[in-house]
Structure 1
Amino acid sequence: MKINLVTLGVVLALSSAAPAFADNSTGSISGIASHGSVVTIKNKNTGLSRTFSVSTNEKFHFRQLPTGNYTVSNGEQSFDIVVTVGGTRSIDFTDKVEVLSVVGSRVSPLDLTSVESATVFTAEDIDRLPITKDLTSVALLAPGTTKGDSGFGNLASFGGASVAENGYYINGFDVTNIRKFTSFANLPYDGVSQQQVKTGGYGAEYGRSLGGVVNIVTKRGSNDWEFGGSAYWTPKGLREDRTDNLSKQTDPSPSEKYHVYNSDNTYDYLKYNVYGSGPIIEDKLFFFAMYQWRDDEWNDFNVDRSTRNTDESPLGLFKLDWNITDSQVLEYTYILNDDEYTIHPYTNPEDEYYTGKHGTPADPYSISDSGDIHILSYTGYITDNLTVNALLGRMEFDSSVRNPLEGPGAECPLVYDRRETPTSSQRIGCWGKDSNQYYRYDPEGETESDTRDSIRLGLRYDIGAHSISFGYDKEEFESTKLGREFSGGDYWRWHRGTGSEVRGVVVPEGQDYVRHRTLTEASGKYLVENTAFYLTDEWQVTDDIILRLGIRAEGFENFNSKGESFVKGDTKYAPRLGFSWDVFGEGDKKLFATAGRYYIPISANTNIRGSGIEFSTEEYFLVDSADEDPTTSAPTKLGAKLGETSYNGDENPPHPGSIAAINLEPMHQDEFILGYQQEFDTWTVGVKAIYREIKDGMDDYCGHQAFINYATDNGYNNFDYNSMANCMMMNPGNNVEIAMDLENDGNYQAVSIPASYFDLDKYKRTYTAVEFFWERAFEDNWYLKGSYSYAKSKGNAEGYVNSTLEQDDAGATQDVDHALFQKGADGYLPNDRRHTLKLFGGYNITEEIAVSANILVQSGRPVSCYGYLPLEQYKDELGVDYSGLAGYSASSFFCQGKLGSRGNEGRTPWVKTVDLGVTYKPEWAENLTLRANIKNAFNSQEVTEYTETSEIGSASAPEANPNYLNASNYLTPRRVELSVSYKF
């Protein structure tokens, strides 16, 4: 029957003042019923039952319900509904209308009770689409998300933020790895029940992210026994070859023929899982268990070596749900991440290049990021109006641990040769070059690992027109660093002079010289503590208007390896405001807006790099090729030294007061959203305007001349800049309060240094966008969903990563290491995509056969020109910073000596991809499902990245890069995934 729009608007407005967000893995049911009636809900899968006695206001609500299928009844009428994560389902028993979904899902995305920008994808939604079943691929379906740089694994960027500024949750527990913010816990994706993607406007219960939030709810057991399994195979025989690209060098050597060599690489992926679920005690205790195996093999062929890589990593999920009573629920989740792959290296015969086949095998080794997750959560429905919840979680993971840690050749120095091939380095000597053994490690240190311990407490109380939520969460994140140095303790690289200068000295053509580097990194354990309180009032101002008034109080503290705090700021307050207006009270038109501030903590990687021991040196010498050791290939005798030695860091840990500004403001962002949605029969359409701006951006500054100048100007002539940390955390463009040993007597005192001494611009990043989005609910055997975004992401820093350098040092990128790196930095940022069109949907041809498609049309990313800093031009003002800056790569916006600007080389081409899928569910085998998905069906292989480095060599002897602006990466070619699923 058709829903009366006037009644429907009242239902939606009065039914709930808020979605149930105190627990990040639940949903709600609410609505209107006659005074004195009793409304009962019952979970159809688990038997969980609750009642609500309706008072004179004729409203009822059931907060923080486990997601799933429910029956709602008032004794006369009953409805079957599905509760999804973060949403509210509304019912009006007084008008005998049909149930309406107000959740961001395919049924009806128009949720008048919510101000958030969020989309929920159920397992059924995801199964229908021809996409890879993983967290990132699903997140990229949401409006406002784009794929980040390939160097970080093509993670999702939300609303112009870097890929290292998102939050990831599983069953309410934050599983983001904050060592660098670029990884998160994995799980068997077939164990996912729902994935919620928040792209903006989220409430005060969420923090520590500037981009978006991905919220996973796993499957759970029920009163029905169910078993099954699935297999997914992407065979190498159904994959097109990747694109090669020739070098632009004039008359290249045989080893420099290709700039990109991919065509001989092969990939064969197979994963399969089994699962079981059911009641341990009917209506009381349930389990869900899934175990997934992999049998992946991929072969990578390079210039003169290759690898065969295998991954048999299992993943596991175990979930227990205990309905202690109808008003108390206890949940336990265990996730196994045995993430480890093995690398089998090979070396080509001498003088054989680009062979496309494996040569002589070397010792294999593995890389492990394995770990475990434990989550325990409790929800108590104390009264009809009071709900409490608590969550405890622990996540333990290895951090890219190599096994064996060291192989043969660890005693030999690292040696490369560029005498015959100046644009590429050849590995020589006795070090473990064939097994990529670049380092040797501290024998007394502990394995690199990360551990997160978290507690969350929440309370919600409904009183009159207000729904009050209060919560507290605390997390401790400990990262263990294993000390290391270069293999054999030294790193040598041979060069041959071209008649140009090296470190200010002309090296004659044909004269050999070497670059020598050393590295010392100490072992240690580093702790990050983050705390937060939040308070939210969801206020039903009128029948048609809901206000959300929230505040989040954040606390951040970082410790060095001695347990000494080096960053502890005052409590930071983040307001979260919003409203939702049912424009005409008819339930089919919604105007909404949000305004909020969001903070992100300092990463554990900053503790390691900023407060630990990291010391390196670089120097150049003339040498004679006759003095090359026949075994190690290192020089046995050094000639004249070229210039001065460059030093980076210190052999002693820095004073904790000198690591970060005392007045350091954690990086935060202000966001404003204004949107409108409307329903037309089976269609829902909307438009939204978004503005985001970074306030008080944060990064490390690695210069020291500014401190010398300040000390000198204030009469401190004994100051030694070596008493400062190698790099200092600060807010660029602000005055810096920091501890300095001005008298060089070991006594540090706090001083305030004007911003002018550093000559740094304010940290800038803005995101402005207009999004159009639409959805046709499934009817007449087809559905369609999509969005179009027009967006601009501008500034002088990308954020917690630097995509150009593929640098994932969150909060410690190169961007503000010195004022020279900011010159030319203003412009459109790497995640800027002006136009993005997304379309996905499906059509049921028959009851057995369905087809689906996923289409992406997107404009390109900005292209820039990078080169070495022209140090001689600024030598007089650089002072002691000259030496340190000489060790940087060609990564400034000086393009072959001339200052350019970010994005001055145009953009990469538009990307257009079409994924197609077909599903067959035969009538003769009711529980069998067969699928074939074709990714990039038309085999588009557009360029996605160019080589943006205009120079090679070194800062003291730069040379034009012949492969500047040569294509370096392409779209992944067409491939086919075949899958089969069966349940019983």
Structure 2
Amino acid sequence: MHATTLRRRPARLQRSALVLALGAIIAGGQVHAQKATGEIFGHAAANSTITIESTETGLKREITADGNGRFSFNQLPTGKYKVSTGADARDVTVRVGTGSEVNFTTASQSLETIEVTGAAINPIDVSSVESATVFTAEQIAALPVARDVSSVALLAPGTVKGDGGLGRTGSTLASFGGASVAENGYYINGFDVTNIRNFTSFATLPFEAIGQQQVKTGGYGAEFGRSLGGVINIVTKRGTNEFKAGAAVYWEPRSLQEHAPNVRSIQDPEKYYKFNDADEDSKLSYDVYGSGPIVRDRLFFFAMAEGRDNVRENFLEDSSNRIQDTKPHGLIKLDWNISDNHIVEFTGITNRDYEEYRNYTNNLDGDGSNGIEDPFSSRHNVGTPGFTRKYGGEVYIGKYTGYLTDNLTISAQYGELEALNGVQTPRNLPGAECPAVYDSRANPANTDYLGCWDVNQFTISDPNAPDERDRRRAGRVDLDWKLGSHSVRAGYDGEKFDSTNVGATMSGGKYYRYYRTPAAGARVNGVNLPGNTEYVRVRDYQTQSGSYEVENTAFYVEDNWQITDRFLAYLGVRSESFDNKNGAGVSFAKSDNLYAPRVGFSWDLEGDASTKIFGSGGRYYIPIASNTNIRASAAELYVHRFYRFTGIDPVTAAPVALGDQIGAPVVLSPGIVPVPDTVTAGNLKPMYQDEIILGFQHAFDNGWTGGVRGVWRKVKNGMDDYCYHGAFERWAQDNGHDDFDSSTVPECVILNPGNDAEFALDLDGTGDLTRVTIPARYFDIPKYRRKYNAFEFFWERPWDGKWSVQGSYTWAHSRGNAEGYVNSSIEQGDAGITQDFDFPSFMDGADGKLPNNRRHTIKVFGVAQIAEEWRVSTNWLIQSGRPVNCLGFVPESARDFDGSGTYTSPSSFYCVDHIEIGADGTPHPVHVLRPRGSVGETPWVTSIDVSLAWIPKFANNNLTLKVDVFNVFNAKRALQYNETGDLNRGSPVPNGDFRLIDTYQSPRAVRFTARYDFSL
């Protein structure tokens, strides 16, 4: 819901307003306090003394209201406070990133503290222009929602679940406002924990340690940047003057988990396309925590340890693997109130995941047609003793806050994050000396593995290379200054992000894939081959080890100007600078002083906070991912060759002898470090997006609130890689450079699609580079386009001690020629360098409905107290489907087709329609252009989750026993289809498995919770 707080209303609304303001979750604030803090503000008698005191930690501050009676306490730690002036006192709860309003200019009323245990409640805040929702730990615990921050974020309007296959296995990623899942920002206690190697992962923490989670879906101010989607902002729990302890167990048994249906292959009826019958997923976590004062009123601690035992069993038709993670997580939070004016905080997190893999073969039924007979008792190890992949690491955050005067506050923060990136132990598995061999002769759509190699093997080419990891070191300083009706904030933040890449090659240093042409023959790598001809593709691949650095800095200044008591104007600007370096520490993509203006307004239409009209506009930049440094600036050897062959070795499955070569070698990357000016356009600008939001919100007499918000987002400058050398050849020919050799250009270059691009070229073959500007028309690709338009209708009924409900309906339209930093249709997570603009023909038909386009989304969730000791809750999602594409190979008639075999994967919107036999008897596939999203949509999805909790009185309400049932009716709708329309360039036959179901919605599962919290 929209960020909101309540002011004093006329008498008929006054009581409900006060109850709502104190008992609800308040999102938004007059000054957008730094990420991990909140604010108290309001009105009192002119020049009166206002005092606040934390009822939890004893922190106390005193200031004087200005001549108009306005006052504000900013950058406050979250928690409960008492606000007083003279004999008048109020109880207030401060939430993350929000403001809580207190009005002393009307008669005081006796107020009671109300504990909200339902859904997030966000009453109207006439002092905020943000779109944000806050969820507390109590509310998250009350709802049937998965225990990960993205699932919580998906409760907010304007968010949709992204496609699977991106990020870690089993993870859930959210798309905000039409952006890809790789364009969000993630924060813990004010520290950016986004992994900018590819933006699809982030540092986690024990879920039970979350105190509050704020979800920003738009309109956020100049303080925030480096994201185009949304922001997930987490504040951990902290210690107070009361000693507390607790323990909890969360168990999702596999015995109560249903399974998605199996899918038979149409292309090869003897095999399964997807075998889901035996997949298992069990989760067990157990938490213990303690908190309290080390020195009363001054020094506090909160510590939590989380034990974990998560097991996934993934089955194919004749093989399976088991992945188990038992590595514990932990967190410690220290808060030191040096004095009432100086606060120091420390957060330490360990979140290592050690995934232990075991691979098995399965005992099939006699005829091989009914799948697995007994997947648990009849399988045996394939031949590896198992291996471990390591992720995660540690996070350390330190922060100082100083309240220097009544009107001046300063804060400084420094943090470090270090995480392993799938480090494998042992590095080389048994069979590492054997080449990687695939067999696609029977069916190019299905791949069989041959030989003695381990399919999980990706051999390290440099045995002395360090482990692959990512490290962030970041600091920031923020200043808050109250000047009459102006609340001014300014700050600086800078970060260095290092990504270590380990040089690798294929198992055994070689790759073979066998093919057979269809009976009618086929054209392979520019050469016509007769029918039933067997051939092999040989791939040489090797990458270089290195460390790649990204430096990002930003300055910002913003002013919340209360022009009148009814009208707030927000003005801000952010200056971003990005610097991406290669392995030698040389900048290959650098942009300085990219200005991002932000504006907004909030109009209290009636003057009583019952009706609000608001709006915001802004520009948002996102950094270049360090994955781009690695892929574009490292020495990478990548060469394809095609051969006839004689015989197959019975042990290694490598060809006994290679015969005639078919066509010329296809050099995708020559294995040398490119000069920065040759690989990156000198005038490259990072991707940015403009956003406009306009909204209306109203509070009704019966306590309900509702509103509507219009959102318009448009990418104004995209960035991606481009791999067609014909553009450089045509420009050189037109400009008289007859000695130019396009092979001196890197395999792919990085540019802004649709714009002129500056590159350094070897124009005469001497090795001397000349910087030239190549007009956009030579590249023959359109400008990067992505538009998102939406109307969000939201409503909520606050908790009254019996029940509460919150919901939204979003009508959205996401359209363009590129999804963003990733490509969900082919599960490509190369942030910023997807296949989309690689060749001009890939953009034919590319404009259409994007993967995150969900035209209709209805969300409803709430809690009800059905008896004194019993509580129920539910979470409903009703959502229309996502668009479906047909992806295939570009036809030989395409303007950029050169027959070299460059197009080794179905990457365009051309699909084989039928085969025509030429006069010479050679088959020719006839491709038909099927524009993006024109092949239909996945079906509507409905998911209903419910929970029942028992909180017995005999345990003094400290014990909670709860059961959650997810997808209670076990709906089995498709989430993704197979979108590959072509089988293989060398076998131009339509894919019979096109539009088979790739992914179903998660089947029914049950989670049991037992938790006990107590004070010492």
CA-CA distance at 1:107 after TM superposition:
4.6
Alignment check: 8 A CA contact 1:430 1:631 kept: yes
Task: Provide the C-alpha distance between the structure 2 equivalents of 1:125 and 1:351, rounded to a whole number of angstroms.
Answer: 48
Deviations 1:175-222 (CA, angstroms, capped at 9, x unpaired) = 000000000011111101100000000000000000000000000000
Alignment partner of 1:232 out of 250, 253, 259: 250
Deviations 1:573-600 (CA, angstroms, capped at 9, x unpaired) = 0000000000011211110000100000
What secondary structure sits across from 1:187 in the alignment? coil
Task: Provide the C-alpha distance between the structure 1 equivalents of 2:675 and 2:906, rounded to a whole number of angstroms.
Answer: 28
Alignment check: 8 A CA contact 1:547 1:579 kept: yes
Deviations 1:6-50 (CA, angstroms, capped at 9, x unpaired) = 89899999x999534352111111111223432111111111010
Deviates more, 1:423-432 or 1:791-800: 423-432
Alignment partner of 1:91 out of 102, 108, 117: 102
CA-CA distance at 1:97 after TM superposition:
4.5
Task: Provide the C-alpha distance between the structure 2 equivalents of 1:2 and 1:688, rounded to a whole number of angstroms.
Answer: 21
Given the alignment of the two structures, is residue 874 of structure 1 paired with residue 894 of structure 2, yes or no? Answer: yes
Alignment partner of 1:973 out of 984, 995, 1003: 1003
- AA paired with 1:403? T
Deviates more, 1:644-653 or 1:323-332: 644-653
Report the number of matched residues.
Answer: 970
CA-CA distance at 1:3 after TM superposition:
5.5
Alignment check: 8 A CA contact 1:860 1:910 kept: yes
- AA paired with 2:963? A
Task: Provide the C-alpha distance between the structure 2 equivalents of 1:172 and 1:2, rounded to a whole number of angstroms.
Answer: 28
C-alpha distance 505-884 of structure 1, shift in aligned 2 (>3 A): closer
Alignment partner of 1:689 out of 670, 691, 710: 710
Given the alignment of the two structures, is residue 943 of structure 1 paired with residue 965 of structure 2, yes or no? Answer: no
CA-CA distance at 1:932 after TM superposition:
0.3
Given the alignment of the two structures, is residue 194 of structure 1 paired with residue 212 of structure 2, yes or no? Answer: yes
**TM-score scaled by length of structure 2:** 0.93
Task: Provide the C-alpha distance between the structure 2 equivalents of 1:481 and 1:151, rounded to a whole number of angstroms.
Answer: 22
Structure 1 equivalent of residue 919 of structure 2: none
Alignment partner of 1:28 out of 32, 39, 57: 39
Structure 1 equivalent of residue 551 of structure 2: 529
Structure 2 equivalent of residue 918 of structure 1: 948
C-alpha distance 864-488 of structure 1, shift in aligned 2 (>3 A): same
CA-CA distance at 1:647 after TM superposition:
1.3
CA-CA distance at 1:5 after TM superposition:
2.9
Runs of 5+ consecutive residues of structure 1 not aligned to the other structure: none
CA-CA distance at 1:94 after TM superposition:
2.4
- AA paired with 2:405? T
Runs of 5+ consecutive residues of structure 2 not aligned to the other structure: 1-5, 914-926
What secondary structure sits across from 1:812 in the alignment? coil
CA-CA distance at 1:426 after TM superposition:
1.5
C-alpha distance 665-76 of structure 1, shift in aligned 2 (>3 A): same
CA-CA distance at 1:53 after TM superposition:
2.0
Alignment check: 8 A CA contact 2:27 2:122 kept: no
CA-CA distance at 1:349 after TM superposition:
6.3
Task: Provide the C-alpha distance between the structure 1 equivalents of 2:631 and 2:213, rounded to a whole number of angstroms.
Answer: 35
Alignment check: 8 A CA contact 1:88 1:101 kept: no
Alignment check: 8 A CA contact 1:504 1:956 kept: no
Structure 1 equivalent of residue 624 of structure 2: 602
Structure-to-structure mapping, 1:122-133, within 5 angstroms: 122-133=136-147
Deviations 1:408-460 (CA, angstroms, capped at 9, x unpaired) = 11111111223344432211111124xx2143432132211000110111001
CA-CA distance at 1:641 after TM superposition:
1.9
Task: Provide the C-alpha distance between the structure 1 equivalents of 2:33 and 2:102, rounded to a whole number of angstroms.
Answer: 22
CA-CA distance at 1:958 after TM superposition:
2.4
Alignment check: 8 A CA contact 1:737 1:753 kept: yes
Deviations 1:775-813 (CA, angstroms, capped at 9, x unpaired) = 100015000000000000000000000001100111100
Task: Provide the C-alpha distance between the structure 1 equivalents of 2:802 and 2:41, rounded to a whole number of angstroms.
Answer: 30
Structure-to-structure mapping, 1:37-76, within 5 angstroms: 37-76=48-87
Deviations 1:903-959 (CA, angstroms, capped at 9, x unpaired) = 111100000010000111011112111000000011101111111101112x24322
CA-CA distance at 1:231 after TM superposition:
0.6
What secondary structure sits across from 2:893 in the alignment? helix
Alignment partner of 1:855 out of 869, 876, 891: 876
Structure 2 equivalent of residue 149 of structure 1: 163
Structure 2 equivalent of residue 169 of structure 1: 187
Task: Provide the C-alpha distance between the structure 2 equivalents of 1:198 and 1:227, rounded to a whole number of angstroms.
Answer: 31
Deviates more, 1:72-81 or 1:349-358: 349-358
Alignment partner of 1:464 out of 484, 488, 491: 484
CA RMSD in angstroms, aligned pairs only: 2.4
Structure-to-structure mapping, 1:620-769, within 5 angstroms: 620-624=642-646, 627-680=647-700, 681-769=702-790
Deviates more, 1:97-106 or 1:813-822: 97-106
Structure 2 equivalent of residue 888 of structure 1: 905
CA-CA distance at 1:602 after TM superposition:
0.3
Structure 2 equivalent of residue 792 of structure 1: 813
Structure-to-structure mapping, 1:332-351, within 5 angstroms: 332-348=346-362
Task: Provide the C-alpha distance between the structure 2 equivalents of 1:659 and 1:640, rounded to a whole number of angstroms.
Answer: 34
Structure 1 equivalent of residue 10 of structure 2: 5
What secondary structure sits across from 2:632 in the alignment? helix
- AA paired with 1:649? S
Deviates more, 1:684-693 or 1:656-665: 656-665
- AA paired with 2:967? N
Task: Provide the C-alpha distance between the structure 2 equivalents of 1:757 and 1:106, rounded to a whole number of angstroms.
Answer: 53
Structure 1 equivalent of residue 279 of structure 2: 265
Alignment check: 8 A CA contact 2:33 2:97 kept: no
Structure 2 equivalent of residue 569 of structure 1: 591
- AA paired with 2:292? G
What secondary structure sits across from 2:831 in the alignment? coil
- AA paired with 2:904? G
Task: Provide the C-alpha distance between the structure 2 equivalents of 1:539 and 1:857, rounded to a whole number of angstroms.
Answer: 40
C-alpha distance 962-64 of structure 1, shift in aligned 2 (>3 A): same
Task: Provide the C-alpha distance between the structure 2 equivalents of 1:977 and 1:349, rounded to a whole number of angstroms.
Answer: 31
- AA paired with 1:530? N
Structure 1 equivalent of residue 921 of structure 2: none
Deviates more, 1:349-358 or 1:816-825: 349-358
Task: Provide the C-alpha distance between the structure 2 equivalents of 1:116 and 1:137, rounded to a whole number of angstroms.
Answer: 21
CA-CA distance at 1:100 after TM superposition:
12
Structure 1 equivalent of residue 312 of structure 2: 298
Task: Provide the C-alpha distance between the structure 2 equivalents of 1:156 and 1:719, rounded to a whole number of angstroms.
Answer: 46
Alignment partner of 2:380 out of 355, 360, 370: 360
Given the alignment of the two structures, is residue 517 of structure 1 paired with residue 534 of structure 2, yes or no? Answer: no
Task: Provide the C-alpha distance between the structure 1 equivalents of 2:822 and 2:1008, rounded to a whole number of angstroms.
Answer: 35
Structure 2 equivalent of residue 160 of structure 1: 178
- AA paired with 1:698? M
CA-CA distance at 1:242 after TM superposition:
2.0
What secondary structure sits across from 1:259 in the alignment? strand
Structure-to-structure mapping, 1:143-542, within 5 angstroms: 143-152=157-166, 153-249=171-267, 252-253=269-270, 256=271, 258-348=272-362, 354-355=371-372, 356-357=374-375, 359-361=379-381, 362-433=384-455, 436-499=456-519, 500-501=521-522, 502-542=524-564
Given the alignment of the two structures, is residue 929 of structure 1 paired with residue 960 of structure 2, yes or no? Answer: yes
How much identity, in percent, do the aligned residues show? 47
Task: Provide the C-alpha distance between the structure 2 equivalents of 1:100 and 1:747, rounded to a whole number of angstroms.
Answer: 79
Alignment check: 8 A CA contact 1:5 1:588 kept: no
Structure 1 equivalent of residue 923 of structure 2: none
Alignment check: 8 A CA contact 2:438 2:450 kept: yes
What secondary structure sits across from 1:924 in the alignment? helix
Task: Provide the C-alpha distance between the structure 1 equivalents of 2:711 and 2:658, rounded to a whole number of angstroms.
Answer: 60
Task: Provide the C-alpha distance between the structure 1 equivalents of 2:302 and 2:415, rounded to a whole number of angstroms.
Answer: 19
Deviations 1:671-697 (CA, angstroms, capped at 9, x unpaired) = 000001111131110100010000011
Deviations 1:521-564 (CA, angstroms, capped at 9, x unpaired) = 11111000111000001111111000000000000111000011
Structure 1 equivalent of residue 607 of structure 2: 585
C-alpha distance 105-583 of structure 1, shift in aligned 2 (>3 A): farther
Alignment check: 8 A CA contact 1:17 1:465 kept: no
Alignment check: 8 A CA contact 1:28 1:89 kept: yes
CA-CA distance at 1:566 after TM superposition:
0.8
Alignment check: 8 A CA contact 1:850 1:919 kept: yes
Task: Provide the C-alpha distance between the structure 2 equivalents of 1:530 and 1:893, rounded to a whole number of angstroms.
Answer: 40
Task: Provide the C-alpha distance between the structure 2 equivalents of 1:168 and 1:473, rounded to a whole number of angstroms.
Answer: 16
- AA paired with 1:177? N
Deviates more, 1:318-327 or 1:719-728: 719-728
